[in-house]
Amino acid sequence: MLRSMCRYLMIFALFVSISPLATAAEVNKLDESLVAVESRANNLRSQAIKQAFKDVVLKNTGTETALTHPDVVKQLAKASSLMTQYGYQELDGELFIQVNFDHKRLISLLRQAGLPVWGKQRPLTLMWLVEDIENERSILSDASSSSTREVFNTQSDNRGVPLVFPLMDLDDAMQVGVNDIRGQFTDNVANASLRYQFNYFIMATIAPQGSVFRYQMALYPRERADDASQLTPLINANGEVATVEKAVTAITAAASEYYVSQYAIADSGEKLTTKIAFTDVSHMKQLVEIETYLNQLSAIKTASVARVEGTTVEFNLALFGNEDDLHRLMKLDPRIEVIKSITADDMEYASFEPMAKVEKQIQIYYWKGQ
């Protein structure tokens, strides 16, 4: 079990990069998948390539419905045409095939199909889970060797949903007990969570009920809204399934679907544009980093420098979605700090292009860097 756990942790580490100072995670290698195979037979390789294609579609859209879209189903039949390379490797005595796909062509397929595209920067979720094993209830910890934790690692990778678990050291144990999570005593769990870096937290339970397993979960933001007296769940989900694995899959999928609704962006088909500015940009390296960052965001079609004045740089942006989509996505990134909004009339620039007079508010950001 420990060797198997280490294997999956190693695989998970390939896909997620979490900064100790960040509240979000960057999910990498969205164009590749690792699929278990029984042998190197041609027919098994063909099946594995198709499964890998499904995996990367799911990672890049975050939603199961993408797999049933006619354009995706059509491409599935010729999945190898988007493949760039594949190779076999053995992990803990088990044979896997690693398949890589052309990321630009994959995203182009999803855009043309009108499907949401989920970028690399994703919310980090703190998971408070009570599991019931042989009538003994416990909170799944970061150091747990439970098979449930292994399944969470696998589903986290499959969905591209970064998860962290509480340490359950003395500090945690003094604040949060099994009944706090089972009873959805949100305040206790929210207070205990503040020591961790995360964007959202989940309170969940999985327990046997006769011949099935019953699960329930609630997803909460890190902080309550300014006009709210307490935290309220963003989503709730519950059900009965045949196995613990299916319960974990359902919990992870519910969180993924919510995040897709917030951070994955489909092409609206409209010619939407906006402007944003970054202040305190004093080096060319910063400007290059910012422009590179903007051009890789799933909300942005193109980004280009419009005007510069001193250390303030304004960008012209063409968008896939609307401005709210863009700002919500940027707010997630720990490298960026929101400063204020200001009208164009209040800003004096050296212009790179003719600009019409604009009264619209421009959002100002500060780039903290890598």
**Together in a domain, 106 and 148:** no
Task: Find the mean pLDDT for residues 12-27.
Answer: 58
**Together in a domain, 163 and 246:** yes
Task: Find the mean pLDDT for residues 333-356.
Answer: 62
Give the pLDDT confidence of 204-217 residue by residue, as tens digits.
999 999 999 999 99
**Together in a domain, 252 and 129:** yes
* pLDDT at residue 11, as a whole number: 41
Query: Residue 139's domain is classified under what CATH number?
Result: 3.40.50
List the domain range (segments joined by +) for residue 194. Answer: 121-263
Q: Show which of 81, 112, 143 is a domain's final residue.
A: 112
Q: Show which of 95, 112, 129 is a domain's final residue.
A: 112
> Rounded to whole angstroms, how far apart are CA atoms 127 and 129?
6
* pLDDT at residue 179, as a whole number: 96
The total number of structural domains in the chain stands at 3
Task: Find the mean pLDDT for residues 340-350.
Answer: 54
Confidence tier at 334 by pLDDT (50, 70, 90) = confident
pLDDT-above-90 percentage for the chain? 76
* pLDDT at residue 356, as a whole number: 47
**Together in a domain, 313 and 340:** yes
Total-model pTM? 0.85
Task: Find the mean pLDDT for residues 171-199.
Answer: 95
Confidence tier at 352 by pLDDT (50, 70, 90) = very low
Task: Look at residue 165 and tell me whether its pLDDT is greater than 50.
Answer: yes
* pLDDT at residue 333, as a whole number: 86
**Together in a domain, 188 and 107:** no
9 part of a folded domain: no
Give the pLDDT confidence of 41-99 residue by residue, as tens digits.
999 999 999 999 999 999 999 999 999 999 999 999 999 999 999 999 999 899 999 99
